[in-house]
Amino acid sequence: MCCFDCNHDDVAGYVMCSFHCNQDVVAGYGICCFGCNHDVVGGYGMCSFDCNHDVIPGYDMCSFDCNHDVVAGYGMCIFECNHDVVAGYGMCSFDCNNDVVAGYGMCIFECNHDVVAGYGMCSFDCNHDVVAGYGMCIFEWNHDVVAGYGMCSFDCNHDVVAGYGMCSFDCNRDVVAGYGMCSFGL
């Protein structure tokens, strides 16, 4: 975990970095926010605020006027973004169109979201329920994930029974069996 003008390199594991950071992850997870550059070969990559992102066999997230390309995996883009997904899922919010057949859904800014067997994401005063999968929620919300992943930011409450938990900005978090990440005054 690394925050605020940091550099991060992790070969086989998890990395988190925020605010003008550079990040390189070979085989694992990478999260980078606020004016960052990101390269992920076989894993997860997240980048926010005027970033460019390219991930071939994994996950990609980019926010705020970003460009996005995902060949075989997942793509997420927020705030006036461009999105291209060849064989996977594409999500975009704020004047975006979203079609989810069986699994993945993303909703941002005062949204309600329910995903039974897949992924669910909701931000800004949203409600979120995920039964068997992933759950992410941002900006003053409550989050409960039974068997999967959970992420929560900005004055949030978080409970993850068997999986991953992430929480940022003066948040509360409980992780029983898995990973826990918390950033920004935590």
Three-state DSSP at 174 gives strand
According to DSSP, the residues that pair with 33 across neighbouring strands are: 18
Residue 160: the pLDDT is 37
Amino acid at 126: C
* Residue range 63-98, pLDDT digits in tens: 333 333 333 333 333 333 333 333 333 333 332 333
Pairing between β-strand 22-25 and β-strand 29-33 as defined by DSSP bridges: unpaired
Task: Determine how many CB atoms are found less than 10 A away from the CB of residue 75.
Answer: 24
Confidence tier at 145 by pLDDT (50, 70, 90): very low
- Owner of token pair 């993303």: 106
Percent of the chain at pLDDT > 70 equals 0
Residue 154: the pLDDT is 34
According to DSSP, the residues that pair with 133 across neighbouring strands are: none
Residue 138: the pLDDT is 36
Residue 148: the pLDDT is 33
pTM higher than 0.95, yes or no?
no
Residue 123: the pLDDT is 39
Residue 183: the pLDDT is 36
